[in-house]
Amino acid sequence: MGKRVRAIIMILALLVFLGSGVAVFAIRRTYKASRQSYADAASAYTQKTDIDDNITTSNMDEAEDNSAASDIDDAGPPIIVDFERLQGDNPQVVAWLYCPGTTIDYPVIQGVDNEFYLHHSYTGAEDQSGAIFVDSQCSPGFTDSNSIIYGHSMKDGSMFGGLEAWEDQDYFDSHPVIWLLTPQENYKVRLFSGYTTSAYSNTYTIFRGPGSDFSAYLAECLAQSDFITEDRPSDDSRCVVLSTCAYDFDEARYVLHGRLEQVGTQ
């Protein structure tokens, strides 16, 4: 009887092991398909410039040349986006987010709620990686004092899976600027704060315009930052919050704050 029980236990353990392996394979295949879909989107709708090539080279050589951050800071738009085609395929696309030398290279959506694009790609197709999307309650065109942009923290580092890298001062020094390109205007997102917070914190307050409450909010964001920067938003700055899941505690989030600096039109 004991031998039969042991044999059954071994068979069950083997089945669990095989089932886990199949599940891991399926997840990896899903991740790969999603990464390829967004890589195809970048190839189809964007074109890199010579500026982007120079920035990427500077990032590769940053260990020997500390001017990499300066190169990024002084550069113009590193990519050109074909918004006419992109919005023809999905009118809810409102921007493209790009950071040289990182995985951030995605279309940005604003839907009618904050649920659909958690599990659908920028095309509207089902995708567990979701999409990068603006809070549906934010005003169109990034006209609020702060607009919130969400993305999943994927285990393979895709989507916003790399945001927590900005915890490190050296990483911030090499990547102080993210690009937000829209059909109307191009912006440098000059990062000024990054930290872990709760999904229910004041970080997610949407301010429509400047005022004393927004000034206090900015001061609180700066006080919590993991990195130090001389760049400071003014009380009338327009800012964005990039938000993703973190695993420090229940409902933890990692966020990056940046002020928008217009640098031209499309």
- Asked whether residue 125 is assigned to any structural domain, the reply reads yes
Domain hosting 115: range is 40-264
Work out the mean pLDDT of the chain and round it to a whole number.
86
What's the confidence (pLDDT) of residue 58? 46
| CATH number of the domain within which 72 lies | 2.40.260.10
Q: Are strands 177-181 and 93-98 parallel, antiparallel or unpaired?
A: antiparallel
- Asked whether residue 188 is assigned to any structural domain, the reply reads yes
Phi and psi based region of residue 263 (left: phi greater than 0; alpha: psi -120 to 50; beta: remaining): alpha
Amino acid (one-letter) located at 105: D
Query: pTM for the complete prediction?
Result: 0.83
Token pair listed for 211: 């005022």
99, 138, 245, 257: which one is catalytic? 245
- Asked whether residue 4 is assigned to any structural domain, the reply reads no
- Asked whether residue 133 is assigned to any structural domain, the reply reads yes
Amino acid (one-letter) located at 154: M
What's the confidence (pLDDT) of residue 34? 87
Percent of the chain with pLDDT over 90: 74
Whether 264 and 76 have beta carbons less than 8 Å apart is answered as: yes
What's the confidence (pLDDT) of residue 35? 87
99, 120, 152, 221: which one is catalytic? 152
152 is catalytic: yes
Number of domains in the chain: 1
- Asked whether residue 6 is assigned to any structural domain, the reply reads no
